Each structure stands twice: as structure tokens, then as C-alpha cells.
Amino acid sequence: MNTRGFGSQLKDSIPVSDFSAGGSFENYDLLRKGFTNVKSELFPVHPLELSEKNFSLSQDKMNYSTLRNIQGLHAPMKLQMEFRAVKQVQRLPFLHSSNLSLDILKGNYDCIGFEDILNDPEQREVMGDPHLMIEHKLGLL
């Protein structure tokens, strides 16, 4: 048996430089961006997963092309400008915005979905500092 103890064997087998503070996490802002997500880097698990992620986008494209064929080019352009204007109106960054006007324009105001029940931002555990969030949005930080 080796005369050195178990602790010295661990010290020799694990390089100490890997535990330094300056590594791949040195420039990553964990407080603002959250934890890194490995799942987002992976390929879709099921063939329909990609289709489900892009369902609303493909449905909007189909509705715009149908509207353009029926009413002309101005109708989908008008709807897109209204959506863009409604998306720009928001509350302060630290307050929850329900985006009711966007739901009314899209026709989703009377539908109850998964995100309405289990994704309530008002019940989350962490609320950011209002001053820091506004300074970050204005680009002062």
C-alpha cells in the first residue's frame, strides 16, 4: 500500500487549477441571466417537439397568407403593425405585465392554457431590485 494518505491521493488526482474562480464562469452574470440550461443545447427528443414549439408561428404565417389572399396586402401589414405597437407598451421591468391587449388582438383572451395556471410570475420566489432592473433596461449598468 502507498505510504501517502488518502487525502494526498485525491489532491494529486484532481488538478487544483480547475477550481479557480476565473474560468468559463468568470464573465457570466448568474444573477441576471440565471443558470445555464443544457437542455436548450440538445436536439429535440421527439419529432413533434419542434413542430409544437413553432406551432403558433406557423399558424400566424398561414393566417397572414390567407388574409393577404382574401383582403390584400394591407390587412396582414396592419395586423403586424398593431401587434408590434401593443408589444412595445409594457409596465416597468419589475412588474408583471399580463399583455391583455395582445391576447385580445390574437383572440386568446378567453382561452385558459398551461401557462395561465402553472406559470404565474406573481407567485415566483424571486423579485428583482427595481432600481437595478430599470438601470439594466436603460443600459446604464
pLDDT digits (tens, 9 = 90+) for 56-73: 899 999 999 999 999 999
How confident is the model at residue 130, as a pLDDT?
83
Based on the number of CB atoms within 10 Å of its own CB, is 68 exposed (0-12), middle (13-18) or buried (19 or more)?
middle
**Domain range enclosing 108:** 48-121
Confidence check: pLDDT of 51 > 70: yes
pTM for this entry: 0.54
| DSSP SS3 for 79 | helix
CA dihedral 99→105→107→108, nearest 10 degrees, is -10
**66, part of any domain:** yes
Looking at the structure of the chain, the number of domains it has is: 1
Specify the pLDDT at position 12: 52
Residue 87 maps to a domain: yes
**Residue 128 maps to a domain:** no
pLDDT tier, 132 (very low <50, low <70, confident <90, very high otherwise): confident
> Would 35 be classed as within a structural domain?
no
Please indicate, yes or no, if residue 23 is contained in any of the structural domains: no
pLDDT digits (tens, 9 = 90+) for 77-95: 999 999 999 988 888 777 7
Residue 4 has pLDDT above 70, yes or no: no
Please check whether residue 67 is in contact with residue 79, taking contact to mean a CB–CB distance below 8 angstroms: yes
Per-residue pLDDT band at 122 (split at 50, 70, 90): low
Query: What pLDDT is recorded for position 76?
Result: 94
Task: Judge whether residue 15 has pLDDT over 60.
Answer: no
62 in any annotated domain: yes
CA dist 98 and 21 (Å) reads 40
Question: Does residue 64 fall inside a structural domain?
Answer: yes
In a domain, 126, yes or no: no
